[in-house]
């Protein structure tokens, strides 16, 4: 990084700091600006032509440029010399930012202070590492949550869920998580289940667990206040404790209307008493339904009214002199009045913190209820949510455009420090089509969070419902995901320990190549795996840009010709294939897939060694039991580094404090980019039989071995 480089220049306009309006503008070094959320927009690299983004949490299906469920006033800028910096505007009030072609940014907010943090990089990965060091490192997810997940709003009864489980099993489709949406509840009341339509649900969940499946329940952030006395303990205990968001008087509960019957009150999760109450309710309910994780939805907070039952008073909090460029220009549309009171202060200041404040108590509640590593999926997010939750991109639509937009959202949330992110595969609203759902299933198999979910009234869209041909393609694609889970899990460890991204844009790795700045039709897992999905109806090929690096076709091991570097190449993509490429210079740990991670974790490991132009490669593997709390913090894990050079593959075991590796082994090593067939191969000094060595003319070498995972591997090509 060059000294004295100007990254923050406010000479563009005057600073305004008034009672309910703060305004500051800055020039930025280039127009390669990424970040700001949560919004749907047509490109990962922002359009700087006077585009304004409002930030204020709202229950709203994604639509272009509108403020959505989360608030992340953070951006990253790649400068003209390829150095990168990031800036966080830490402010929870309603706000907007306008991107202009100078290039410049103008920030406006209606409260708080102008609190900016600048992260100097110089690489994109350095920026995110520095950012997450400040806001909190991402959680390490339980291993099972990296498996494929199925959900639906509209399972009418437990029989419908059983039918889905059976047909997924019939086709052998990998699958680890089944969700219960609001259908499982008794009249959509939190901490209840429907004993008529879902009779036997506790026993059913136990049966799922025996087969290696996990069950995640939804909980909404509002409780009915209108149940008969003595029949609904969660509300009555909360009422005794006085834990609700209150009206402007600070005494009477704010009453809205939501999914639960009658009118609703809203727990104030910023109040420590609420956190204790929430934990107690979640632990008690786990004794009824033995869930594995919790999905917290509608926590913007959502309200079917505009303000409270009684409306919102005409004052300067509910009707401020300036309303940022948020959807419908109202601070209380489909939520509570801004002059409502929380433990932290007026909702005018804390509204966008509601989902964030629910995250930590839910994380803690699962710990206490299950004794295992929590999985929390949250719709509403704020700066720092990644420490506790995963995220999905909300109520999208079964259209091709939304499938493309999902890549942009996934890349952005990795910038925001929430790497476990995905979109509703095949779309939430509208009936999907077979081709759209198939292509989306292929893409979704490479979301960090891979979940298929759709809305009541839409046709079923799980990958087993379309018949044998669709199921076979879904199965083979998800088997690729499951085979790569050791690599993906290692990326999540690096995110947790060092703040790295998991999914990243090509610009993240090839910052000096300006063409990569505008690419959002392909993305990377870590540094080494490129995913280039089909995003257009009827397409049977994809134009893939190959930055300057060795690239190998995942399926064949063929090396992408050097003549294709720094340009787009048309890649064949029949209906049964999503194009995947491995970058030379990297070693990826793999594992023989199974239909459940509980089973795949017992299978043999492999390594894919993709050589760079110098014939070298490196990689690593993190492994623990996948479910215990704080294994990294307590040092109870296995970590190995792999290096290959001059025909010598060697592992160095850095940490060996997880005994579970003692029963695991390597069974296959694949080399890509080998120039000639070796005369022989030795593993730990012992020669490998020639029948276990397979060399292909394209430079792919497969060596079958049997070696313990927990011991250092020393392989020589002779």
| Torsions phi, psi for 451 (to 5 deg) | -135, 130
DSSP 70: -
For residues 309 and 257, is the Cβ–Cβ distance under 8 A?
yes
Q: Closest Cα to residue 87, out of 156, 45, 146, 26?
A: 26
Rg (CA), the chain: 26
Whole-angstrom Cα distance, residue 35 to residue 607? 34
How far CA 245 is from CA of 69, 119, 263, 383, 560, in Å, comes to 19, 36, 14, 22, 59
Cβ neighbours for 24, distance < 8 A, ≥ 6 positions apart: 10, 13, 15, 16, 106, 107, 114
Q: How is 478-545 classified by DSSP, letter by letter?
A: HHHHHHTHHHHHHHHHHHHHH---SEE-HHHH-TT-HHHHT--SSEEETTTEEE----STT--EEEEE
Whole-angstrom Cα distance, residue 415 to residue 37? 10
- The structure tokens listed for 307 are 């303000």
Q: Is 300 a catalytic residue?
A: yes
Cβ atoms < 10 Å from Cβ of 83: 21
Question: Which position among 176, 194, 300, 349 bears the catalytic label?
Answer: 300
The CA angle 597-602-606, to the nearest 5 degrees, is 95
Q: How is 105-159 classified by DSSP, letter by letter?
A: EEEEESSS---EEEE--SSHHHHHHHHHHHH-PPP---GGGGS-EE--TT--SHH
Q: Closest Cα to residue 532, out of 507, 497, 505, 493?
A: 505
- The structure tokens listed for 687 are 């020669």
**Which DSSP helix (H) or strand (E) runs through 64?**
none
Q: State in Å, rounded, how far the first CA of the chain is from the last one.
A: 43
- The structure tokens listed for 274 are 């609420």
Question: Which position among 79, 220, 297, 627 bears the catalytic label?
Answer: 297
For residues 596 and 212, is the Cβ–Cβ distance under 8 A?
yes
The CA angle 29-418-383, to the nearest 5 degrees, is 70
- The structure tokens listed for 469 are 């041909």
Q: Is 543 a catalytic residue?
A: no
Burial (0-12, 13-18, 19+ Cβ within 10 Å), 3:
exposed
For residues 144 and 208, is the Cβ–Cβ distance under 8 A?
no
For residues 623 and 612, is the Cβ–Cβ distance under 8 A?
no
**Which DSSP helix (H) or strand (E) runs through 686?**
strand 686-687
Whole-angstrom Cα distance, residue 644 to residue 634? 30
- The separation between CA 247 and the C-alpha centre of its own chain, rounded to angstroms, equals 35
Whole-angstrom Cα distance, residue 716 to residue 718? 6
Residues assigned a catalytic role: 297, 300
């Amino acid at each position: 990084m060059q000294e004295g480089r100007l990254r923050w220049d406010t000479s563009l306009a005057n600073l305004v700091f008034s009672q309910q309006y703060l305004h500051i503008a800055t020039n930025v070094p280039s127009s390669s600006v990424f970040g700001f959320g949560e919004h749907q927009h047509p490109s990962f690299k922002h359009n700087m032509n006077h585009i304004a983004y409002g930030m204020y949490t709202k229950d709203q299906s994604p639509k272009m440029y509108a403020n959505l469920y989360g608030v992340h006033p953070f951006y990253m800028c790649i400068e003209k010399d390829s150095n990168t910096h990031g800036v966080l505007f830490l402010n929870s009030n309603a706000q907007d930012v306008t991107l202009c072609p100078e290039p410049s940014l103008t920030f406006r907010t209606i409260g708080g202070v102008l609190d900016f943090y600048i992260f100097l990089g110089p690489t994109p990965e350095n920026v995110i590492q520095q950012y997450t060091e400040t806001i909190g490192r991402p959680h390490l997810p339980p291993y099972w949550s990296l498996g494929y997940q199925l959900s639906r709003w509209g399972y009418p009864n437990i029989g419908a869920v059983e039918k889905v489980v059976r047909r997924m099993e019939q086709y052998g489709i990998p699958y680890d998580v089944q969700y219960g949406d609001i259908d499982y509840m008794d009249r959509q009341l939190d901490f209840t289940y429907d004993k008529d339509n879902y009779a036997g649900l506790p026993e059913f969940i136990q049966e799922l667990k025996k087969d290696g499946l996990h069950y995640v329940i939804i909980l909404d952030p509002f409780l009915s206040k209108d149940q008969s006395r003595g029949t609904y303990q969660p509300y009555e205990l909360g009422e005794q404790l006085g834990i609700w968001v209150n009206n402007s008087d600070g005494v009477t509960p704010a009453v809205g209307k939501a999914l639960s019957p009658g009118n609703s009150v809203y727990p104030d999760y910023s109040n420590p008493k609420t956190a204790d109450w929430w934990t107690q309710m979640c632990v008690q309910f786990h004794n009824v339904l033995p869930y594995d994780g919790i999905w917290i939805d509608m926590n913007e907070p959502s309200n079917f009214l505009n303000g409270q039952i009684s409306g919102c008073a005409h004052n300067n909090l509910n009707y401020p002199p300036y309303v940022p460029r948020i959807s419908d220009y109202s601070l209380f549309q489909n939520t509570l009045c801004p002059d409502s009171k929380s433990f932290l202060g007026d909702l005018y200041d804390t509204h966008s913190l509601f989902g964030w404040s629910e995250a930590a108590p839910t994380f803690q509640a699962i710990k206490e209820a299950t004794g295992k590593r929590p999985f929390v999926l949250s719709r509403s997010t704020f700066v720092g949510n990644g420490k506790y939750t995963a995220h999905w991109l909300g109520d999208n639509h079964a259209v091709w455009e939304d499938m493309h937009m999902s890549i942009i959202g996934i890349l952005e949330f990795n910038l925001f420090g929430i790497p476990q992110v995905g979109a509703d595969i095949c779309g939430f609203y509208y009936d999907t089509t077979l081709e759209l759902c198939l292509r989306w299933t292929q893409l979704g198999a490479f979301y960090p969070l891979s979940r298929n979910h759709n809305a009541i009234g839409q046709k079923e869209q799980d990958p087993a419902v379309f018949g044998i041909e669709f199921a076979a393609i879904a199965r083979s694609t998800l088997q690729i995901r499951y085979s790569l889970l050791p690599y993906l899990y290692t990326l999540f460890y690096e995110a947790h320990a060092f703040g790295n991204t998991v999914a990243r844009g090509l610009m993240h790795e090839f910052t000096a190549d300006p063409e990569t700045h505008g690419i959002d039709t392909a993305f990377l897992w870590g540094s080494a795996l490129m995913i280039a999905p089909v995003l257009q109806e009827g397409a049977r090929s994809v134009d893939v840009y190959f930055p300057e690096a060795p690239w190998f076709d995942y399926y064949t091991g063929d090396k992408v010709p050097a003549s294709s570097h720094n340009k787009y190449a048309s890649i064949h993509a029949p209906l049964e294939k999503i194009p995947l490429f491995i970058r030379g210079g990297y070693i990826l740990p793999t594992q023989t897939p199974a239909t459940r991670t509980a089973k795949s974790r017992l299978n043999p490991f492999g390594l894919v060694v993709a050589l760079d132009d110098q014939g070298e490669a490196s990689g690593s593997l993190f492994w623990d039991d996948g479910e215990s709390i704080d294994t990294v913090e307590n040092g109870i894990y296995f970590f190995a580094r792999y290096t290959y050079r001059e025909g010598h593959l060697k592992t160095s075991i850095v940490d060996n404090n997880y005994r579970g590796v003692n029963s695991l082994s390597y069974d296959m090593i694949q080399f890509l980019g080998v120039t000639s067939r070796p005369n022989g191969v030795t593993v730990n000094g012992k020669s490998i039989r020639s029948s276990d060595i397979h060399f292909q003319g394209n430079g792919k070498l497969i060596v079958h071995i049997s070696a313990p995972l927990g011991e250092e591997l020393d392989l020589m090509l002779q």
